[in-house]
Amino acid sequence: MDKRVLILSSLYIRLDASVDALPAGNAEREGDGYSCMPGGKGITAALTFRALGTDAVLCGAVGDDDFGKRTLRFLDGAGIDRRFVSKYAKAGTGLYLSVSESGRGPRRVKIPAANALITKEDIEASFMVYPDALYIQNELPYELLSYAVNTARSKGIPVFWHPCAPAARGAEVIPSSFEAVIFDQSEVASYCGVDPDEYDKFLPAAMALASHIKAKYYIIRLPDRGTFIYDGLHHEMAGDYPSTYLDETGSSVIYGATFVAAYMKTGGSVKKAVKCAAAAYAYSSSNKGDVTSVPSASDLVRFLKRDR
């Protein structure tokens, strides 16, 4: 039987547009193209779990609008269990707008909309599926994340925390014990005050994280260097896989979800899980988009064979 993971995160309609240069105020400029489809961190994670053979149950919210209906159809078509995706008439579906200029990074605007209406009752109901693990991102308010984590811990369910963003100024850390916490290098300093930007800072950063956050494993992805693994006593580095870095939009989320899926499938082998996650990041960042760059299990096998 497939392992089952409960994903608590946000759902958005992504509108990605490209233009040579943004116009000045009150001006207008013709763009080069656009795409509009369901996406965002929660959906990307759910698709990754599903693609790797894990039963993905998504808890979130959409609006009672055309975007919401489109998102639900998309999830159905992808085989995602969305019984606990609530539909709210009070607000529209979340919108994530990204505009890319030639030679510059994209400018992004996120409108949570229905995502801000999720309740503790919604979260409590989602545990009816008896998940084997809970996977959370920093996409919902602290109170809801804390409630979900405490609920999972009371039921003996391991929790994987993948923030996917730096800590907000003054933000609290959830006072719980995690199976694993997964960070990108750019996020670490905001949680512990130490930036692992050099080799001799890798271990101090991991130890600083451990002094703030309780976890069995601390996973830090270091761009172009690999992944630093720390368990409170021992540490080691795992290598990366080559990437063209065409588009890293959803790569971090895909890395984290792949780690959790592989960890669950291998019975808790952190080394194998990190290896699979690194391969997933390389595949994703070598392809365009977020939900469109999710690797299948066969894609990962091809990457992993290169390391033999």
Kindly state whether residue 93 falls inside one of the protein's structural domains.
no
Decide if 273 is inside a domain. Answer: yes
In a domain, 265, yes or no: yes
**Domain assignment present for 109:** no
List, for the chain, all residue ranges whose pLDDT scores fall below the cut of 70. 1, 306-308
Q: Identify the pLDDT of residue 176.
A: 83
In a domain, 112, yes or no: no
Domain residue limits at 264? 4-10+41-88+119-305
In tens, the pLDDT along 30-46 reads 888 898 999 989 999 99
Q: Is residue 259 part of a domain?
A: yes
pLDDT at 22: 83
pLDDT reported for residue 307:
57
Question: pLDDT value at position 245?
Answer: 86
pLDDT tens for 243-253 read: 888 888 899 99
Mean pLDDT of the chain: 92
- In a domain, residue 238? The reply is yes
Query: How many structural domains compose the chain?
Result: 1
Predicted TM-score (pTM) of the model is: 0.94
User: Does residue 20 form part of some domain?
Assistant: no
Q: Give 194-246 pLDDT, tens digit per residue.
A: 999 999 999 999 999 999 999 999 999 999 899 999 999 999 999 888 888 88
- Cβ-Cβ contacts under 8 Å for 269 (sequence gap 6 or more): 262, 263
CATH no. for residue 47?
Answer: 3.40.1190.20
